[in-house]
Amino acid sequence: MPFWNRSPTPRYSLFYVADLHGSEKCFRKFVNAGKFYRVDALILGGDVTGKALVPLVRLEDGSYEARFLGRTEIARDEKELVTLEGQIRFNGFYPFRTDSEELGQLAADPVRREEHFQRVISAAVRQWVALADERLQGTGVACLVMPGNDDGEFVGEILSEGRTLINPEGRTIELGPYQMLSYGWSNITPWNSPRELPEDQLEARIEALTSDLESGRPTIYNLHVPPYGTRIDDAPEIREDLSLVGGSSATMVPVGSTAVRRVLERHAPMLGLHGHIHESRGSARLGPTVCLNPGSDYNTGILKGVIVRLRGSDVEDVQFVAA
């Protein structure tokens, strides 16, 4: 805005990202983004945890072997092992050291595998919470991190242990001059992820949260899943076996939530923050509501996000970034 037109209403700015899926590099960038972009708040809108474990299997000679990205990597000493683990984490996977015996047991026993997953994810999320607390304490930058549909319930509990990092899910919180409602569950997906609900139940739960909102105040809805049919919810069409319809000339279909759309249309908040669909970075308007999805490229180490500058009840400016 030119200086001759500057409004007396102070500007409030936030940086929003979603779907980091275990990428440590992206999370570190997220934590540092407050100072970098000079924003008042950092918001991570769900899907914090990764999707895959990559075993580093101890070989007879004491070295470790990992197979990922179409190649076999051998780490001969601790230094190489740490480097290899870093590369695996960079891609949003969780590395873990094991031997062939344990690997066989994990492959054969789904319960044991799940316990292992939970253990590894819990440790990683705790590290992230500690990192954010340490880096952001006393900076004045709000840090809000909410679990998404891909994060088990235990993830929300760990996020709630933070001191500076706050888990805003399932309630209304104050964000500068604004109030923000947050919810990370999604509508039903083909993946049967940990936190999904049928549309009617999802709508009822979000609607229940709106009762805490103060009427007449500008409001932000931080809902992981985007509203249906807005192009920021387009994803490749897949079959029941999760293969792509049409291969590389895939058909993009809307997969957002009709419940979220109805809630937004009914309450008309100033801003809707969404993630969930990595491919459909963009903005859309639903009546007066500006809906944003920053997309995600977590597996490249690139932090996709959006800087939102608010003034009064207006969304003054939106800037997508790939940091």
Partner 1 sequence: MSGSSVPGQAPGGNERFFTRQATGLVREVSWVDAAIYNLIWSSVPLSIAFILAFGTAFYVGGNLMIATVIAFVLALPCAVLYAVLSAAVPRSGGDYTWVSRTLHPSLGFASNLGFSFWATFFIGIYAVYLGFYGIGPVLRVAAVYTGNSSILSASDFFFSTGGVVTTGAVLVVLSALVLSFGRGLRGFMRFQRWAFVVWLIGSVLLPIAIFALADQNSFKANFDNYAQKLGGTPGAYDAYVAAGQYAGAAMDLGATFLTVTLAYYTLGFIFQSAYFGGEIKQGKRNTLLSIPGAQVIAVLMILASIAVFLSNAGAGLLAGTGAQLFGTDLSATGFTFAPLYTELAAIASGNLLVGLFITVGMLLLFILFVPQTMILLSRNLFAWSFDRLMPDRIAEVNERTHSPINAMIVIVVLSLISVAIVATNQNLTFIVGLFGLTVTYLFVSVAGIFFPYRQRDTFEASPYNARVGGVPVVSIIGVLSLIGMALISYVLLNDQNSGTALGVNPERVALALAVPTIGFVAYFIIKAIQKTRGVNIDLAYREIPPE
Q: Which of the stretches 65-73, 122-130, 172-180, 202-210 binds partner 1 when contact is defined by CB under 8 A?
A: 65-73
Q: What is the CA radius of gyration of the chain?
A: 21
Q: Cα-flanking dihedrals φ and ψ of residue 308, to 5°?
A: -115, 125
Instruction: Single out the residue of 299, 312, 313, 314 in contact with partner 1 (rule: CB under 8 A).
Output: 299
Pick from 227, 206, 319: which is nearest to 277 by CA? Answer: 227
Tell me how far the alpha carbon of residue 146 is from its chain's centroid.
8
Residue whose CB is less far from partner 1, 149 or 219:
149
Sign of the C-alpha dihedral, residues 133, 154, 192, 206? negative
Residue whose CB is less far from partner 1, 269 or 282:
282
CB of 183 to partner 1, least distance (A): 16
Binding positions for partner 1, 94-153, rule CB under 8 A = 106-107, 110-111, 113-114, 117-118, 149-150, 152
Residue whose CB is less far from partner 1, 59 or 244:
244
73 contacts 84 by C-beta, under 8 angstroms? yes
21 contacts 51 by C-beta, under 8 angstroms? yes
CB of 212 to partner 1, least distance (A): 28
CB of 242 to partner 1, least distance (A): 5
Distance CA 22, CA 90 (A): 9
Count residues near partner 1 (CB under 8 A): 91
Binding positions for partner 1, 66-95, rule CB under 8 A = 66-72, 87, 90-91, 93
CB of 34 to partner 1, least distance (A): 10
Q: How many helices, marked H, and strands, marked E, lie in the chain?
A: 7, 20
* Residues 12-41: x where in contact with partner 1 by CB under 8 A, - otherwise, as a string: ---------x---x--xx--xx--xx----
Contact between 194 and partner 1 per CB under 8 A: yes
3-state SS string for 226-239: CECCCCCCEEECEC
